[in-house]
Amino acid sequence: MNVAIIIPALTSVAWFFLIIACVGTISSTVFLLLTLAGVWYHTHKDIEPSAISNFPPVSVLKPVHGREPRLKENIESFFRQDYPTFEILFAAADENDPSLEIIREISSRYPCIPSQILITGQPPWPNPPAYSFYRMSEISKYDILVTSDSDVEVAPDYLREVSAPLLDPANGMVTCVYRGKNLGGFWSALDAIGMSVEMTAGVLVANLLEGMKFGLGPTIAVRKDALAKIGGYAATGDYFSNDFAMGNFIEKAGYNVVLSRHVIDHVVAPMTFRRMWERQVRWAKGTRYSRPKGHFGSVLVFAMPYGVLGFVAAETLTLPQFATFLLGAALLNRLIECWVVGWKVVRDPQAKSAAWLYPVRDIFGFLVWCASYVTRRAVWRDSRYELVEGGRIVLRQSGG
């Protein structure tokens, strides 16, 4: 080989990657500043009526599937609400679903809280939760519907916090951020810290720049009049990210979508790398097809990949001080974001005691972003889907 040709070529490549790393470092710094501004905006904006004397009655809609970790604690937290009038409706596809035994046992200990179980059968819509919400809404008594996942645990003031903004007729929907509650294990810890920091940071920046135009699945509170205006839950039945679609449709219908300051726990069970990877890529694909431009641009918000790239490129060019600067800047960026968002906003103890996880998660998040462009296929539970333009899904193989 001709060394005189190879060395200049390698130098040119190193300079190219160094320029990319510098651009990424600048863009991720800008995103951090926007995140800090989003935190301030979220924590200072008035989002609730100043004085509330009569809280409206609420119907809680909760689909269940299987005996998930901490299901008993999750379900019971909804029965312990400090709220004057509410009912809890549960929906399962199969009458033999193992979660129903737990629900019946808890319901029997809270006879003063009206509750009901609905067996829906296999959903005819591509999105099973959307169909469950539709079926439960048909038998719900009250005008405010609060939908929530089965892997969510809430505080006693939860219903007060998420229902209050709906007293303003201009507000059609309320959603809230969440912290990942890790039940143990490294891969679930990465999953959880991503919920607490990466997800929340993105939501806060979106809320700052354009207001809320989407919902977050773990909690969506909506008034029936706003829901009816978009065609009910049926309007989201063939969307992969039905929570995003719900908020998007309601905002386009002329209502405000409010981001509550209340924070809930999203329980993350111990999991293998494969399960966590499939779950993360599935969510990323949902975002890719729901918000294609925003998802593509999100490559600029990562910090650690650019820091590592810059370190290697600068070292290759014998610029050790600059290499250390780029890597150090990326690491500091992620640690600040982890502490401000993960601890100060959502109060995730993991963001405080194991902040080192987030820089690792940042690299992993970049790999997930790359993987979201590999295929249109996605796996959820035992079913396989194909995503199409606009965020819709086509069921390719049902899990039964």
Cα separation, 116 vs 244, whole angstroms = 27
Which pLDDT does position 386 carry in this prediction?
A: 80
In the predicted model, is pLDDT for residue 23 greater than 70?
yes
User: Is the pTM for the entire model greater than 0.95?
Assistant: no
- Estimate to the nearest angstrom the gap between the alpha carbon of 142 and the chain centroid: 27
pLDDT at 376: 80
**The pLDDT of residue 289:** 86
As a whole number, mean pLDDT of residues 220-249 equals 95
The type of residue at 144 is I
Decide if pLDDT at 389 tops 80.
Answer: no
- pLDDT for 240 equals 85
Chain centroid offset of residue 317 CA: 40
Question: pLDDT tens digit string along 110-135?
Answer: 999 999 999 999 889 988 999 999 99
Direct distance between the N- and C-terminal alpha carbons of the chain, in angstroms, rounded to an integer: 60
**Contacts with 189 (C-beta within 8 Å, 6 or more apart), sequence order:** 182, 350, 354, 357
pLDDT tens digit sequence for 134-169: 999 999 999 999 999 999 999 999 999 999 999 999
- CB neighbours of residue 44 within 10 Å: 8
pLDDT for the residue numbered 3? 46
* Domain 44-271 CATH (choose: 3.40.50.80, 3.90.550.10, 3.30.10.20, 3.30.360.10): 3.90.550.10
Cα–Cα distance measured from residue 360 to residue 191, given in angstroms and rounded to the nearest whole number: 11
Nearest to 162 by CA among 74, 44, 60: 60
Stronger pLDDT, 50 or 238, i.e. the higher one: 238
Question: In the prediction, which pLDDT does 9 show?
Answer: 56
Average pLDDT over residues 176-183: 96
Domains of the chain, by residue range, sit at 44-271
pLDDT tens digits, one per residue of 57-102 = 999 999 999 999 999 999 999 999 999 999 999 999 999 999 999 9
Please check whether residue 235 is in contact with residue 264, taking contact to mean a CB–CB distance below 8 angstroms.
no
How high is the pLDDT of residue 58?
98
Q: What is the pLDDT of residue 48?
A: 61
**Could you report the per-residue pLDDT of 260-316, keeping only the tens digit for each?**
999 999 999 999 999 999 889 988 988 888 888 889 999 999 999 999 999 999 999
Is the pLDDT at 322 greater than 70, yes or no? yes
The pLDDT assigned to 255 comes to 97
Exposed e or buried b for every residue in 172-207, given b needs 16+ CB within 10 A? bbbbbbbbbbbeebebbbbbbbbbbbbbbbbbbbbb
